[in-house]
C-alpha cells in the first residue's frame, strides 16, 4: 500500500538500530549498553513516582532535571535542553541549527543517524574522510559549511579528539554551529562542556543511556549558549511539549545525583576495556585506541563477517558494519568481566 506514502517517505533510507535479539543466555555485545544496572537510587525514585499522579502530565520543561544537569556541568539552567534520548535531541538540532543553505560537514565514518536526519529534514551535507588511521583531522574541515557535527569519541571507531582540536575548529568556524555528540564521553574523553562559555557556536549533546545505564529510560540533553537552547525549545514545543515522562525525570535526576555509583560503574567498564584490548591484541587483532565503552577491531587474516557469524553460533552478538573502509572491522561492546572472558575464549577457539 506504499501508494499512500509521501514522496519524502519513498526517498528515505531509515536508520537501522543494533539488533535486539530475544534469545536466552545471549552475550549481547552489539549495542554498547552498560553491563551494570542503573543507580539503585534512580530505581527507588522511579518506584516512588508510580501512583495516582501518573494521570497528570509531566513538567513540560523538566525543570528539576535541567537544574540537576546545570549544576553538575557548571552551566545555567537556560543553557540546558532535554529530550527523549539524544537521538531526539539530535533530530531537533538538525532542524533548528543545521538546516541552512550551505551543506553541513561530518565524518565519512561516524554515527549513521546523521545522514538519515539529513534525508528527513532536507539538510545538504558533505562527508569528510577520516585519516588513514581513522582519526578526525580538523584541518580537513576548512571549507564553507552550514555547520559541523561529529561524535567525540567518534562512533563506531572509538577514537577521541582532544579539546584543543575542537577549540581550533570553533575558532576557525565562528559563523557555524559545531555540534559535539558526546554519547560515550564518560569512558575516557574530555568533555567540550568546558568550552561553552568561550564559544557561543558550540553545542554539546550527551545521553544517560551509556554511562548512567539508562538506555531503556530514553533521556538525552544538550548544553550550549542560551540562544542555541532557545532554538531547540522552539522546535521541541512545535513537535512534542512533553518528551520526558514523570518516571524519566525523577529517575534521571536521581542517577545524576548518585555520583558514587556513576564513578564505580564507569571505572569498572574502563578497567574491563583495558583487559579486553590486551586479550584481543594477544589473539592477533588490531585494536583502534578507544575512549568509549566499546572497541573497534580487525584481524589481518580473518574475515570480519565470518568472525561475527562464528561468534553468533556460540551465543555472542557483536556489531559488523558492511560499509566501505570498515567492512573488516567489528565493534564490540565492553561487557562485564565474565562476558569479556567468554568472548576471548570463543575467539581463541574460532581462530584455532
| Mean of the per-residue pLDDT values of the chain | 96
Question: Is a pLDDT exceeding 80 seen at residue 165?
Answer: yes
Give per-residue pLDDT as tens, 256-303. Answer: 999 999 999 999 999 999 999 999 999 999 999 999 999 999 999 999
Same fold, 2-37+260-351 and 40-258: no
**Per-residue cell: 119:** 534525508
Domain 40-258 listed as CATH 3.40.640.10: yes
- pLDDT band of residue 20 (cuts 50, 70, 90) is confident
Residue listed under C-alpha cell 566501505: 324
Every domain of the chain and the residues it spans: 2-37+260-351, 40-258
Report the CATH fold assignment for 2-37+260-351.
3.90.1150
- pLDDT band of residue 13 (cuts 50, 70, 90) is confident
Query: Which of 9-18, 42-51, 69-78, 272-281 has the least mean pLDDT?
Result: 9-18
pTM (2 d.p.): 0.95
Amino acid at each position: 500500500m506504499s501508494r499512500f506514502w509521501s514522496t519524502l517517505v519513498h526517498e528515505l533510507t531509515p536508520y537501522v538500530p543494533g539488533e535486539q535479539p530475544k534469545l536466552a543466555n545471549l552475550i549481547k555485545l552489539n549495542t554498547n549498553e552498560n553491563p551494570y544496572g542503573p543507580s539503585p537510587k534512580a530505581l527507588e525514585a522511579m518506584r516512588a513516582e508510580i501512583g495516582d499522579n501518573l494521570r497528570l502530565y509531566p513538567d513540560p520543561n523538566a525543570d528539576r532535571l535541567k537544574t540537576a544537569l546545570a549544576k553538575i556541568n557548571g552551566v545555567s539552567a537556560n543553557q540546558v535542553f532535554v529530550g527523549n534520548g539524544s537521538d531526539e535531541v539530535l533530530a531537533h538540532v538538525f532542524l533548528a541549527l543545521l538546516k541552512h543553505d550551505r551543506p553541513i560537514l561530518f565524518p565519512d565514518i561516524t554515527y549513521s543517524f546523521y545522514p538519515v536526519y539529513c534525508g528527513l529534514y532536507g539538510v545538504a551535507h558533505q562527508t569528510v574522510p577520516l585519516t588513514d588511521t581513522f582519526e578526525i583531522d580538523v584541518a580537513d574541515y576548512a571549507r564553507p559549511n552550514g555547520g559541523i557535527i561529529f561524535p567525540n569519541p567518534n562512533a563506531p571507531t572509538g577514537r577521541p579528539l582532544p579539546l584543543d582540536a575542537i577549540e581550533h575548529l570553533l575558532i576557525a568556524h565562528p559563523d557555524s554551529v559545531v555540534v559535539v555528540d558526546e554519547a560515550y564521553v564518560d569512558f575516557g574523553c574530555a568533555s567540550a562542556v568546558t568550552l561553552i562559555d568561550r564559544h557561543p557556536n558550540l553545542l554539546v549533546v550527551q545521553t544517560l543511556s551509556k554511562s548512567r545505564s539508562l538506555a531503556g529510560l530514553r533521556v538525552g540533553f544538550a548544553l550550549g549558549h542560551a540562544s542555541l537552547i532557545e532554538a531547540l525549545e522552539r522546535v521541541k514545543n512545535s513537535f512534542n511539549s512533553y518528551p520526558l515522562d514523570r518516571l524519566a525525570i525523577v529517575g534521571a535526576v536521581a542517577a545524576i545525583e548518585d555520583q558514587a555509583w556513576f564513578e564505580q560503574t564507569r571505572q569498572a567498564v574502563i578497567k574491563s576495556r583495558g583487559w579486553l584490548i590486551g586479550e584481543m591484541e594477544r589473539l592477533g587483532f588490531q585494536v583502534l585506541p578507544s575512549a568509549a565503552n566499546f572497541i573497534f577491531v580487525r584481524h589481518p587474516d580473518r574475515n570480519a563477517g565470518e568472525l561475527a557469524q562464528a561468534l553468533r553460533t556460540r551465543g555472542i552478538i557483536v556489531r559488523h558494519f558492511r560499509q566501505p573502509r570498515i567492512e573488516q572491522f567489528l565493534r564490540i561492546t565492553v561487557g562485564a568481566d565474565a562476558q569479556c572472558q567468554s568472548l576471548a575464549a570463543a575467539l581463541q577457539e574460532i581462530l584455532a
